[in-house]
Structure 1
Amino acid sequence: MRLHTDALYLRPLQKEDAAELLELRLRNHDFLQPFEPIRPASHFTLEGQQEQIAQAQRDFANQAAFAFGVFLPENDRMIGRVALSNVARGAWQNATLGYFLDKEFNGKGYTTQAVKLVLQFAFTEAQLHRVQAGVMPHNLGSIRVLEKNGFRYEGRSLRYLLINGAWEDHDMYAITAEEWTK
């Protein structure tokens, strides 16, 4: 499976991607850490990334989550990851959106395009009704990505997630299938 624009493509991660994913994580550790949980040292090993990918593959097969690598078509370089996690079926049909992009490629529209592609997957292939995202209020770039993709602000969740060692408030954004435009 491959979802694409002229500038990038998404595909589910494969075990062969583990070394490149590790390199991406290590290269961007200081840049991403203020926005992520503190992870054990084992996460930043080849084995840790192999396990992350194996779990993502199991989750994809079970429709519990859908994780994709973000790649440049001209050289197949991995520049990020975008995922729909915490998939709930039944009456809710919801998933939580998360993403990160290599610092080198931030501010160039790649994240906005990757989110647009994953929303297309969410509302067509995965048959979800709603996608939500939580973002720290000071993460203006991420808020802008969500707004450009039609997400609406729903409110603030206090002390929502343990990020970089502190309980951080998150502004909640969501979009439903009825609001989504292709």
Structure 2
Amino acid sequence: MSLHTDMIYLRPLELQDAAKLLELRLRNQDFLAPFEPIRPASHLTLEGQQQQVADAVRDFEAGTGFAFGVFLSKKDEMIGRVALSNVARGAWQNATLGYFMDKDCNGKGYTTSAVNLALQYAFSDANLHRVQAAVMPRNLASIRVLEKNGFRHEGLSLRYLQIYGKWEDHIIFAITAEDRERLNLVTI
């Protein structure tokens, strides 16, 4: 199963992706650090990434999370990751969106496209009603990705997540299936 545009495609992470994911994370470690929690050193090992992918595969099978690798179509090269996590069912039908892209691939529309594809999956295959994302106010590029995908600003959560060792405020964004349909954002 894959979701695609002319430039990129998404597919669920598989165990054989761990080495490529590690390479991607190592290459972007300094670039991503200001936007991520401090993780144990084991996170940036092959075993750490194998565990991350194994957890993602388990969550995908259970329907509690949907993590995708982002790949360039022409080169079949992994350039990022996008995930729908913390899936809640019942009356909420919600997931949290998270993503990162190789620093060399920023500003080319790949992240916007990857989020769009993940939303297609969320509102069709995963049968979710709502997807939310939290972004630090200074992360203007990420805010723009969400805006281009039709997310609305819902509010500011003070000291929401511990990022790079500091409790950071986050702007909460969300989109529902009705929003997406109304905005005619079903496909790119």
Q: Report the TM range for the smaller structure's normalisation.
A: over 0.9
Task: Give CA-to-partner distance per residue, 1:89-111, whole Å, 9 cap, x none.
Answer: 00000000000000000011000
Report the Cα distance in structure 2 between the residues aligned to 1:115 and 1:39, rounded to whole angstroms: 24
Deviation at 1:75, TM superposition (A): 1.4
Q: After the TM superposition, which residues 97-116 of structure 1 pair with which residues of structure 2 at under 5 Å, given as runs?
A: 97-116=97-116
Counterpart of 2:21 in structure 1 is: 21
Q: What is the one-letter code of the residue matched to 1:76?
A: D
Name the TM-score, length of structure 1 as normaliser.
0.99
Matched, 1:158 2:158: yes
* Paired residue total: 182
| Identity rate, percent | 74
Deviation at 1:48, TM superposition (A): 0.4
Counterpart of 2:80 in structure 1 is: 80
Q: After the TM superposition, which residues 1-182 of structure 1 pair with which residues of structure 2 at under 5 Å, given as runs?
A: 1-180=1-180, 181-182=185-186
The runs of 5 or more residues in structure 2 that have no matched partner are: none
Instruction: Say which SS state the counterpart of residue 59 (structure 1) adopts.
Output: helix
Task: Give CA-to-partner distance per residue, 1:15-73, whole Å, 9 cap, x none.
Answer: 11111100000000000000000010000000000000000000000111000000011
Instruction: Say which SS state the counterpart of residue 53 (structure 1) adopts.
Output: helix
Q: What is the one-letter code of the residue matched to 2:107?
A: G
The runs of 5 or more residues in structure 1 that have no matched partner are: none
Q: CA RMSD in A?
A: 0.4
Report the Cα distance in structure 2 between the residues aligned to 1:140 and 1:161, rounded to whole angstroms: 17
Report the Cα distance in structure 2 between the residues aligned to 1:157 and 1:56, rounded to whole angstroms: 27
Instruction: Say which SS state the counterpart of residue 179 (structure 1) adopts.
Output: helix
Instruction: Say which SS state the counterpart of residue 178 (structure 1) adopts.
Output: helix
Report the Cα distance in structure 1 between the residues aligned to 2:100 and 2:126, rounded to whole angstroms: 21
